[in-house]
Amino acid sequence: MATFKDFRNQIKPNWCPGCGDFSIQAAIQRAAANSGLEPEQLAVISGIGCSGRISGYIHAYGFHGIHGRSLPIAQGVKLANRDLTVIATGGDGDGFAIGLGHTIHAIRRNINITYIVMDNQIYGLTKGQTSPRSAEGFVTKSTPQGSVETTLSPLELALSAGATFVAQSFSSDIKELTALVEEAIKHEGFSFINVFSPCVTFNKVNTYEWFKDNIIPLSSNPDYDPSDRIAAMTTLMETSGMVTGLIYQDKTKKSYEDSVPGFRKEALVRQEMSLSREHFDNLVAEFK
């Protein structure tokens, strides 16, 4: 049985020392091993940005896609081979700006994949511009007088789009993050985890200390019920989205794969796809 070390490869990550993305990589590797997966049963698909490098740092199937497009690729991989565990990854610029349309529709489609966003509230790879997650008033090279745009609330958006699994974590809490990724892998449908992942080089406001001071763990409320969608939305609105833990899960809704009539249990890649001469002739005859 594979251990988390089997999900390591020889490539040394070139993230800045202290970047939150290191812990997210480790959490995915640990969760995959804890879930009983072998490297050939996992596919990690990424977009563009510092976060996008993660698919190259995990020993599994990987695909480094284009900006904002990790989800269309990940959904295609899953539909072609439903036997694979598919994890799509991206940053807040990747998934909540150029890729936001894909994010919303992937959520409402409910294909059985996991989406992990490394939310550092800035564009890191392009050296520090305001992202949809930056706070109002945030000063960067692209907003030298402070951002005037409203900060996007991805978890509220996910809930309103019909998400069946919504969670949030902090990259320095690797224990909680690993457990949430394991739950997400287990969930039969689309699971969305937003992870506060500090960019130590360009974001000097939302630092590790800032998150530690502002995060509200849901574990501090023993009465919190993650199956209550209205309570989940209320909690997010009341805390400005700063809660961590499993925020919402609907275990009753079927995944896309299990809802589409005729979508077979046997993975498409294992199905006999060749066309007999007779079948081909019959198809052609229909157009005569």
Nearer to ligand SF4, 23 or 178 (CB): 23
CB of 278 to ligand SF4, least distance (A): 57
Tell the smallest beta-carbon distance from residue 107 to ligand SF4 (Å).
24
10 Å Cβ neighbour count for 242? Answer: 15
196 vs 256 by CB, closer to ligand SF4: 196
**Ranges of H-type helices in the chain:** 21-34, 70-80, 92-93, 100-109, 154-160, 174-186, 208-214, 229-238, 256-259, 277-285
User: b or e along 144-164 (b: 16 or more beta carbons within 10 Å of the residue's beta carbon)?
Assistant: eeebeeebbbbbebbbebebb
Measured CA to CA, the distance from residue 131 to residue 92 in angstroms comes to 7
Q: How many CB atoms lie within 10 A of CB 240?
A: 12
259: left (phi over 0), alpha (psi -120 to 50) or beta: alpha
- The residue from 19, 42, 71, 116 that contacts ligand SF4 (CB under 6 A) is 19
Q: Could you give phi then psi for residue 253, rounded to 5 degrees?
A: -80, 135
Stretch that binds ligand SF4, among 14-22, 66-74, 97-105, 247-255 (CB under 6 A): 14-22
Select 143 or 201, whichever has its Cβ closest to ligand SF4: 201
Ramachandran bin of 240, using left for φ above 0, alpha for ψ from -120 to 50, beta for the remaining angles? left
> Does residue number 24 form part of the binding site for ligand SF4 (CB under 6 A)?
no
The residue range among 130-138, 167-175, 194-202, 273-281 that interacts with ligand SF4, by the rule CB under 6 A, is 194-202
Q: Which is nearer to ligand SF4, 200 or 233 (CB)?
A: 200
* CA-angle at 107, arms to 199 and 207, nearest 5°: 15
* From 96, 138, 170, 202, residue interacting with ligand SF4 (rule: CB under 6 A): 202
**Distance of closest approach, residue 128 Cβ to ligand SF4, in angstroms:** 8
What would the two tokens of residue 153 be? Answer: 């609330």
The nearest distance, CB 257 to ligand SF4, in angstroms, is 34
Of residues 97-136, those binding ligand SF4 (CB under 6 A): 120, 124-125
Interacting positions 26-85 with ligand SF4 (CB under 6 A): 50
Q: For the chain, what's the residue count?
A: 288
- Applying CB under 6 A, among 2, 7, 15, 57 the residue interacting with ligand SF4 is 15
Contacts of 10 (CB under 8 A, 6+ apart): none
Q: Choose between 123 and 165: whose C-beta lies nearer to ligand SF4.
A: 123
Instruction: Give me the amino acid identity at 61.
Output: Y
Which position among 200, 216, 233, 242 is part of the footprint of ligand SF4 (CB under 6 A)? 200
232 touches ligand SF4 by CB under 6 A = no
Considering only 6, 8, 16, 67, the residue that binds ligand SF4 (CB under 6 A) is 16
Residue ranges binding ligand SF4 (CB under 6 A): 15-16, 19, 21, 50, 120, 124-125, 199-202
